[in-house]
Amino acid sequence: MAADLVTLGLVCADVMVRPVNAIPERGKLSLVPELAMHLGGLAGVTAAVYCRLGGRAAFIGSVGMDSFGDHLLSSLASAGVDTRGVRRDPSARSSATVVLISDDGERTFLHHIGATAALSEDDVDYDVIGGAKVLHWGGPGVTPGLSGGPMGRIFERARALGVKTSVDTCYDGGATWLPLIEPALPHLDIFMTSLEEARHYTGQETPEAIAVFLRGYGVEQVLVKLGAEGVYYASEAASGLVPAHKVRVVDTTGAGDAACAGFLYGYNQGWDIERCARLANAVGALTVQAMGGAGGVRSLEQALELMEATSP
């Protein structure tokens, strides 16, 4: 059966260490109570969480011929993600990140881009995409072979197949920003981003101004993730703020990627944008209560129970 959602871009092994409130002195050793490996990456986490909500997702990307690659494919398959579109690259190691997590859940990252660096438009399987409702790109800034013109062409072709298009941004360590995504914007239906990233990509300061900027390119729906403040949503029909749920924060890694899965699940069910944003907000709140981007989300029923809570 065809996937409703196809994600394209970054999947990586997250080696997570908690709590880390200070880096040991050079050459010294510190003991930590928690160290574990989890599924990570914008596109990988979104696909896995989408399946946990009851949807059907496929992932297109590249991993190495190594133990990290084995772990990533196993984790995706365990979540129910279709991995037919994954290329295994014998010349590179899989993408991986060391995540240092402080007591309050804040993260510091050391990322090895690995096999994802070679991912290109030639690797995109349109047989996988053609039956989907949405093609979602996770990773401008960490998918150099897709950024710019290639992603514009990929989205244009996906739309010609009747597939809606979506993107979730990440921090651009190369400080290129807008040129990474601008060719894709005229072919984009849904734009999801954090406030900090959006300020760099658009040059605008407020969520409202960011949405106006993006909708000027023809983007239909915008979701700006505000962390502890919740999420802001905007379309031609409606806009507003969904306040964050008050929960105990263990680890914020992947919360934004999981929130995208919530939004896209609602979108593919035909929900209005406010309800999609409320589900995104609830899924993000579940995610921060456990280690790893997909660890805190068990089911749609769990997310709906939190979403419908009278006091977010």
Domains and CATH numbers, the chain: 5-24+31-307 (3.40.1190.20)
Q: What is the pLDDT of residue 232?
A: 98
Nearest-5° Cα angle at 232, 228 to 237:
160
Handedness of CA 292, 8, 147, 111 (dihedral sign): positive
CA dist 295 → 108, 284, 301 (Å): 19, 11, 16
Judged against a pLDDT cut of 60, whether residue 310 lies above it is answered with: no
Q: Which residues contact 171 (CB under 8 A, 6 or more apart)?
A: 141, 196, 197
Judged against a pLDDT cut of 60, whether residue 312 lies above it is answered with: no
Q: What is the pLDDT of residue 302?
A: 95
Give percent of the chain with pLDDT exceeding 90. 84
CB hemisphere CA count around 93 (13 angstroms): 9
Coil, strand or helix: which one is 168?
strand
Judged against a pLDDT cut of 90, whether residue 108 lies above it is answered with: no
Average pLDDT over residues 32-61: 95
Q: What is the pLDDT of residue 105?
A: 77
Q: What is the pLDDT of residue 252?
A: 80
Judged against a pLDDT cut of 70, whether residue 311 lies above it is answered with: no
Alpha-carbon distance 83 to 71, whole Å?
13
Q: What is the DSSP letter of 185?
A: G
Indicate the helix (H) or strand (E) that contains 255: helix 255-268
CA dist 281 → 14, 140, 285 (Å): 23, 22, 6
Judged against a pLDDT cut of 70, whether residue 76 lies above it is answered with: yes
Q: What is the pLDDT of residue 43?
A: 97
Average pLDDT over residues 157-163: 98
Per the DSSP assignment, residues forming a β-bridge with 71 are: none
CA dist 291 → 80, 219, 296, 297 (Å): 20, 33, 7, 11
**Residue 311 CA to its chain's centroid (Å):** 26
Q: How confident is the model at residue 154 (pLDDT cuts 50, 70, 90)?
A: very high
**pLDDT tens for residues 1-11?**
689 999 999 99
Average pLDDT over residues 193-206: 97
Judged against a pLDDT cut of 80, whether residue 293 lies above it is answered with: no
